[in-house]
Structure 1
């Protein structure tokens, strides 16, 4: 595995542990809006610090309001995803989030950005079938429908974020884009905090969880991806990024003692294979 492939793999693994960290934060009494706000604020501070240190200059002046709107979208994705793990298991939430893979294909088709191929529809059906097995009891009759709704909504907003990024100029440095996007995310989270429960727990514990989520969710992945995806290609990167799912399942099993059956592992295998095939078909198309 080359250095750049490992960077993409490591970024995906960072995303994979987020649902487990959020579950642990909930166990200490913190709520969604406050941990998401501290995460966005911490990520924004670090990214702007790196941006100013490197003194990034872009060949094309970015439309800042578009970048901030995209950041608000990814921030809202995090908020929805974190809300989902209040009601369903972390592993089930991770499985449902991965539905963004086929949702993004359909959105590209609707937007006219790219026409879907017959092979892609077969892969999407396989992803759905694998998801039913992989989610296991997390979306069974005992689960809370609100958790399922929040997780699927986060998958949709994540797909919207991915598709919207295809319309941005590639000449704008990744660090610049990430800093402005995280600013938009922080602004939205501030609004949610102000209009919701507020910062009920403004203490060291909240700072700990917020910074951990910022490190693994908004700082490391963008930095790793921006330096590696262009080197190995989008198709190979998308396949490596499927590592997020097994890491999410394993971290939930090890740190939260969530049981994983053989049927769930079979479903995960089907999902990962179908996602890899979906990205290969997209690359060929």
Structure 2
């Protein structure tokens, strides 16, 4: 439960991002400035956590903890560091594709396209383990798909607002997000999650800076209004989710992670209504409830089976 909760919390963090990005675009900031400031702040926060853990280990008086914390970075070979930085690139690519899709299509449609990572994650997990998804997983995905259609407002808006450039970008962001989930559990899993996430954020930041040189560091944009957006996006997009996913994904697998990640959608819809004052219909709220039920369904079935077995044993 602990690891599932951490992954769920990471998904909730991602649900906050689209609202912040919409606000940043309204202030006139560009894609490079938004994603670049996000990853820069995430980079600072991630390495601050690493330094804090090392300092805490050295000064806690616990020799074993100090030795483990102090040597964690030195034992990480440059080959593994490069692997982690490459694993962090999908994080940056997801942000670039998803944020850019918001320029061409409505938020609800962009979220729906991003949420194709749910079945992609299950497909990747099934291929990797060479087995079909079980009945519970298939029911969950069916309910989840129906809920996302309702929550995204497709039945209300129809297909008239389709912009195929935005659609392609949104769908590609789902592929990238699926790869991020996969790499979160596979890239150097023996390393402490804080070090893993720090190097992954570093790789994502360097990738974005190669595409979009960080001119905001020199033209005063960061200190003239971009910084608050960068702090919020860095905290909820580049820092917390990679740490939480690095801890939780290796213990619960990519398939269940993809389903728990669906919690992002209800959060995004609620914030769109409360913060952006977008109209959310009853059908969309019904979709939100379906998504929440789909997220909870595997755990409810597991508890039901466990309770049944317990009663059988006790009987």
Structures share fold, TM-score greater than 0.5: yes
Please tell me whether Structure 1 or Structure 2 has the larger radius of gyration of its CA atoms.
2
Aligned residue for 1:113?
129
CA distance in 1, matches of 2:9, 2:103: 26
* Residues 5-61 of structure 1: CA deviation (Å, up to 9, x unaligned): 776554433221100000000000111122101111111122112212322344973
Aligned residue for 2:40?
41
Contact 1:42-1:211 within 8 A present in 2 as well: yes
From 226, 229, 237, the counterpart of 1:209: 229
TM-score by length of structure 2 reads 0.75
Contact 1:88-1:147 within 8 A present in 2 as well: yes
* Residues 48-76 of structure 1: CA deviation (Å, up to 9, x unaligned): 12212322344973611211111111110
Aligned residue for 1:259?
279
Aligned residue for 2:94?
77
Aligned residue for 2:267?
247
Aligned residue for 2:206?
187
CA distance in 2, matches of 1:136, 1:24: 21
CA distance in 2, matches of 1:177, 1:259: 40
Please say if 1:150 is aligned against 2:169: yes
Contact 2:262-2:291 within 8 A present in 1 as well: no
RMSD of aligned C-alpha atoms?
A: 3.4
CA distance in 2, matches of 1:280, 1:166: 24
Do the aligned partners of residues 237 and 226 (structure 1) sit closer, same or farther apart at CA in structure 2, a change above 3 Å counting? Answer: same
Aligned residue for 2:116?
99
TM-score by length of structure 1 reads 0.82
Q: Which segments of 5 or more consecutive residues in structure 1 lack a partner in the other structure?
A: none
CA distance in 2, matches of 1:77, 1:18: 12
Contact 1:239-1:276 within 8 A present in 2 as well: no
Aligned residue for 1:19?
18
Do the aligned partners of residues 172 and 241 (structure 1) sit closer, same or farther apart at CA in structure 2, a change above 3 Å counting? Answer: same
Q: Which segments of 5 or more consecutive residues in structure 2 lack a partner in the other structure?
A: 55-68, 306-315
Q: Number of paired residues?
A: 278
